[in-house]
Amino acid sequence: MMTQKLAWLRISGCLMALFILSFSLASCTKNIDLSNDPKQKKVALIMKEGQGDYWNTVKMGAEAAAKEFNVLLTVSAPRNGGDNQEQINLIQQAFNQVKPEALVLAVSESEAMSAAIDRSGFLHTPVISIDSQIKSPKVKSFIGANNVDAGKKAGEKLIELTGETSQIGIIGVVQGASNSDQREKGLLDVIKQHPDVEIAARENGNSDPKLAAELTNKMIAAHPQINGIVALNEASSVGVAMEIQRLGLAGKVKVIGFDSSPEGLEFLQDGVIQAMIIQNPFSMGYLGVKYAAEAIDGKAIPSQFDTGTKIIDLENMFWSENQKLLFPFVK
Beta strands in the chain (DSSP E): 31-32, 41-46, 71-76, 102-105, 127-130, 139-144, 166-172, 197-204, 228-231, 254-258, 275-278, 304-306, 310-313
**Which one-letter amino acid corresponds to residue 33?**
D
Amino acid 120: pLDDT = 59
Long-range residue pairs from 115-119, CB within 8 A, at least 24 positions apart, any chain: 116/88, 116/91, 117/91
Residues with Cβ within 8 Å of residue 186, at least 6 apart in sequence: 147, 148, 149, 150, 151, 152, 153, 154, 155
Query: Which pLDDT value is given to residue 67?
Result: 96
- Average of per-residue pLDDT values in the chain: 85
For the entire predicted model, the pTM comes to 0.80
DSSP structural state of residue 42: E
**The pLDDT of residue 226:** 97
What is the pLDDT at residue 203?
94
Report in angstroms the alpha-carbon separations of 230 from 8, 178, 181, 273: 28, 17, 13, 10
25-69 residue pLDDT tens: 333 344 444 455 668 999 999 998 888 888 999 999 999 999 999
